[in-house]
């Protein structure tokens, strides 16, 4: 089941080991989707595929104790991490529930905003999921989605691209290719239009994606958290030539403290008319 895959030990272990570095790397991405959502005090917000708590925590802080944020995810273990993070910050206006975007456990017109950061690529039935998001939005409410752009960008070229150059017979899994389904400009915006949204806006943004640590740490993190690539990475596990090639590629962007990258992301917003 999907929730079991995203609850996998390798992913959760990597997330725990590198929690601070992961948060630093994703901070600019979180800021991008929060800005796109245009959250204001007093609003009710649903954050779909919230994982271990972002951007729901950032939005709860932005609400300044007003309104309500609900973070939803299929996997229970990341939700437990999110609850602990919110409690540590003393946030009382955010809660986390387990659920599926394809059958949201909320009534019609329940939220002013619906967000999803790096989740929409994994929805198994995109029209149904977007339809559910539209259903739970209030009239005039906004959805803000952030997804990976093209695969041909530094983070993936230095890792997966290097693996393929060294071992050309190793194939990228279908589930992994789906991560980049919105890399063709207009694709995500078109899907929102088909789902019945109006005022659709889609932009490709280049956002800092910097790793505070060594190339070795970044590669360990990548192998742990990029679940769709796990079958491919398993094939080259223990392959010293691949290891050295990837570390060499990451090393070209290492300044002694950070591995400096720039991510190409698709940010799309729309409204329920």
Tens digit of each residue's pLDDT (9 = 90 or more) over 214-228: 999 999 999 988 989
The values of phi and psi at residue 192, to 5°, are -65, -40
Count Cβ neighbours within 10 Å for each residue of 118-149 and write b for 16 or more, e otherwise.
bbbbbbeebeebbbbbbbbbeeebbbbbbbbb
Joined together, the tokens standing for residue 156 give 């993936």
Distances (CA, A) of 229 to 46, 109, 222: 28, 37, 9
The pLDDT assigned to 9 comes to 46
Strands 198-208 and 262-271: antiparallel
Task: Centre a 10 Å sphere on the Cβ of residue 226 and count the other Cβ atoms it contains.
Answer: 20
The pLDDT assigned to 1 comes to 40
The pLDDT assigned to 237 comes to 96
Task: Centre a 10 Å sphere on the Cβ of residue 49 and count the other Cβ atoms it contains.
Answer: 22
Q: Where are the alpha helices (DSSP H) in the chain?
A: 2-6, 9-17, 19-37, 56-62, 76-88, 126-136, 154-156, 162-166, 174-177, 187-194, 215-225, 230-235, 240-251
What is the rounded distance in angstroms from the CA atom of residue 241 to the CA atom of residue 110? 53
The pLDDT assigned to 13 comes to 59
In order of start, what are the domains of the chain with their CATH numbers? 2-150+178-209+263-271 (3.40.50.150)
The pLDDT assigned to 112 comes to 98
Share of the chain above pLDDT 70, in %: 95
The pLDDT assigned to 139 comes to 98
The pLDDT assigned to 219 comes to 97
Joined together, the tokens standing for residue 211 give 């790793």
Report pLDDT digits (tens) over 124-146: 999 999 999 999 999 999 999 99
In order along its 273 residues, the chain shows pLDDT tens digits of 455 455 544 455 566 788 899 999 999 999 999 999 999 999 999 999 999 999 999 999 999 999 999 999 999 989 999 999 999 999 999 999 999 999 999 999 999 999 999 999 999 999 999 999 999 999 999 999 999 999 999 999 999 999 999 999 999 999 999 999 999 999 999 999 999 999 999 999 999 999 999 999 999 999 988 989 999 999 999 999 999 999 999 999 999 999 999 999 999 999 999
Nearest one of 223, 228, 2 to 101, comparing CA atoms: 2
């Amino acid at each position: 089941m999907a929730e079991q895959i995203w609850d996998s030990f390798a992913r959760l272990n990597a997330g725990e080991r590198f929690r601070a570095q992961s948060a630093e790397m994703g901070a600019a991405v979180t800021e991008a989707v929060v800005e796109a959502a245009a959250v204001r005090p007093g609003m009710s917000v649903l954050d779909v595929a919230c994982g271990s708590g972002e951007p729901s925590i950032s939005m709860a802080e932005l609400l300044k104790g007003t309104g309500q944020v609900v973070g939803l995810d299929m996997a229970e273990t990341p939700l437990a991490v999110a609850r602990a993070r919110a409690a540590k910050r003393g946030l009382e206006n955010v809660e986390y529930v387990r659920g599926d975007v394809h059958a949201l456990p909320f009534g019609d017109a329940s939220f002013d905003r619906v967000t999803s950061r790096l989740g929409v690529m994994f929805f198994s039935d995109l029209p149904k999921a977007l339809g559910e998001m539209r259903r739970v939005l209030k009239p005039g409410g906004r959805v803000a989605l952030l997804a990976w752009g093209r695969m041909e960008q530094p983070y993936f070229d230095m890792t997966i691209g290097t693996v393929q150059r060294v071992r050309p017979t190793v194939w990228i899994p279908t589930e992994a290719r789906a991560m980049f389904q919105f890399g063709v400009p207009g694709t995500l915006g078109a899907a929102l239009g088909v789902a019945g949204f109006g005022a659709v806006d889609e932009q490709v943004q280049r956002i800092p994606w910097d790793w505070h640590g060594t190339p070795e740490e970044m590669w360990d993190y990548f192998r742990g958290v990029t679940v769709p690539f796990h079958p491919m990475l398993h094939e080259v596990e223990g392959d010293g030539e691949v290891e050295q090639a990837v570390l060499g590629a990451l090393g070209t962007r290492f300044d002694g403290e950070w591995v400096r990258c720039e991510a190409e992301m698709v940010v799309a917003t729309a409204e329920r008319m």
